[in-house]
Amino acid sequence: MSGFGTPAHLRRDRLSDKIAKDIQDRVLSGELTVGDRLPSERDLMAHYGVGRPAVREALLWLNKTGMLSVSNGDRTRVTEPDPRDMLQLLSGAAKMLVARAEGIRQFQKTRIFVEVALAREAARLATDDDIADLEAVLLRNESCADDIPAFSATDDAFHHRIALIAEDPLLDALYHVVLELLEEQRRTSLSHPESLGKAQAAHRRIFEAIRDHDADRAEAAMRDHLETVIHTYWGIREQASSSP
Note whether 228 and 206 are within 8 A (CB).
no
Q: Determine the pLDDT at residue 1.
A: 52
Q: Which domains does the chain have, with CATH numbers?
A: 15-81 (1.10.10.10), 87-242 (1.20.120.530)
Q: Which amino acid is at 163?
A: A
Q: Determine the pLDDT at residue 2.
A: 47
Q: Tens digit of pLDDT for each residue in 211-226?
A: 999 999 999 999 999 9
User: pTM for this one?
Assistant: 0.69
Partners of 78 in the β-ladder:
68
Burial class (CB in 10 A: 0-12, 13-18, 19+), 146: exposed
Contacts 24+ apart (CB under 8 A), 9-15: 10/48, 10/49, 10/50, 15/48, 15/50, 15/54, 15/58
**Ramachandran quadrant class, 13 (left: phi over 0; alpha: psi -120 to 50; beta: rest):** beta
Query: Which stretch of 26-40, 62-76, 122-136, 198-212 has the lowest confidence by average pLDDT?
Result: 62-76
